[in-house]
Amino acid sequence: MEHRQVQVNGTELHVVLAGDGPPVVLLHGWPHTWFLWREVIAGLAPAHRVIAPDLRGVGGSARAAGGYDLHTLSGDVIGLLDVLGEEQAAVVGIDAGAPVAWMSAMRHGARVSRLVVMEALIGELPGAEEFGRPWWFGFHGVPGLAETVLEGREQPYLDWFLRGIGDRARHEFVAAYTGREALRCGFEYYRAMPRNAEQVAAAARRRLTTPTLAIAGGAVGTALHGQLLPIADDLRCVVVPDCGHLIPEEQPEALLGHLLPFLSTDEEGCQT
């Protein structure tokens, strides 16, 4: 794997590159980094050029003061493709990375060849009414509050969200979100949600024409598929059994079993 720092869309992103072939961008969520994808990268690299950035403000990327809305974040994705000389790529996102991947396809459809989203909700699109808003959305969303309360107590708090995964990944993620600025940048993804809801509603007036795969784990499940079904022209849904929220960490082989065929086929899918 090659680690690189690149200037993109007014900020600096840390990106991990591996393999050769049709490109695929992997977008992590909160509280994660590119490291969430390490086993998936190894499985994709023999057939694909894998591009796995740390999202704006997170991990090895610069602690950006702003730009955590979906328009700017999707611009980061397209800017990264520009810097790396890629005209088009498949984009895969989980958790907070899934709305970024979706918005990339909605705003820059010619640049996104395939879309894969998992374990997330897309703004307030209808179809996921049974999925209530978790308590931490409100806590994280108050400017300045969560980082003030949690500075110096990052590990016990983040461990609550990372329970069930291996120690190596847990330590990696806790280290990436330790310190007031690291915490703040992570929480900016929640603080942008009201603005993002407006951006999502506006984008959803158009059809999602990019071939899309929605992958359900054991937390959000098929709610994301329910949101996309009314607006997508080519949508497939699969469920990864015996899995929680972090599919790339908990079931990487099962995930690759769905990703590789979807990313490599030129056939049109059918709506499910």
Mean pLDDT of 253-262: 97
Instruction: Give residue-wise pLDDT tens across range 200-213.
Output: 999 999 999 999 99
Please give the sequence-ordered ranges of beta strands (E in DSSP) within the chain, or none if there are none.
Answer: 2-8, 11-18, 23-27, 49-53, 89-94, 112-118, 212-216, 235-239
Instruction: Give residue-wise pLDDT tens across range 168-199.
Output: 999 999 999 999 999 999 999 999 999 999 99
pLDDT for residue 268:
45
Which residue's entry shows tokens 């007036």? 205
Element housing 249 (H / E): helix 247-250
Model confidence band, residue 266 (pLDDT cutoffs 50, 70, 90): low
Which residue's entry shows tokens 């990696």? 172
Percent of the chain's residues with pLDDT above 70: 97
Range in 89-98, 132-141, 169-178, 187-196 with the lowest mean pLDDT: 132-141
Mean pLDDT of 123-142: 90
Of 53, 59, 133, 45, the closest CA to residue 101 belongs to: 53
Mean pLDDT of the chain: 95
Mean pLDDT of 214-235: 95
| Domains detected in the chain | 2-133+194-264 (3.40.50.1820)
Model confidence band, residue 267 (pLDDT cutoffs 50, 70, 90): very low
Report d(CA 215, CA 224) in Å as an integer.
8
Element housing 258 (H / E): helix 252-264
Instruction: Give residue-wise pLDDT tens across range 45-84.
Output: 999 999 999 999 999 999 999 999 999 999 999 999 999 9
pLDDT for residue 272:
33
Give yes or no for residue 220 having a pLDDT over 60: yes
Mean pLDDT of 130-142: 91
Give yes or no for residue 270 having a pLDDT over 50: no
Of 49, 33, 30, the closest CA to residue 41 belongs to: 49
Report d(CA 181, CA 245) in Å as an integer.
26
Q: What is the pTM of this model?
A: 0.96
Model confidence band, residue 110 (pLDDT cutoffs 50, 70, 90): very high
Identify the residue with better confidence: 130 or 157. 157
Mean pLDDT of 207-223: 95
Mean pLDDT of 146-166: 96
Mean pLDDT of 6-29: 98
Model confidence band, residue 128 (pLDDT cutoffs 50, 70, 90): confident
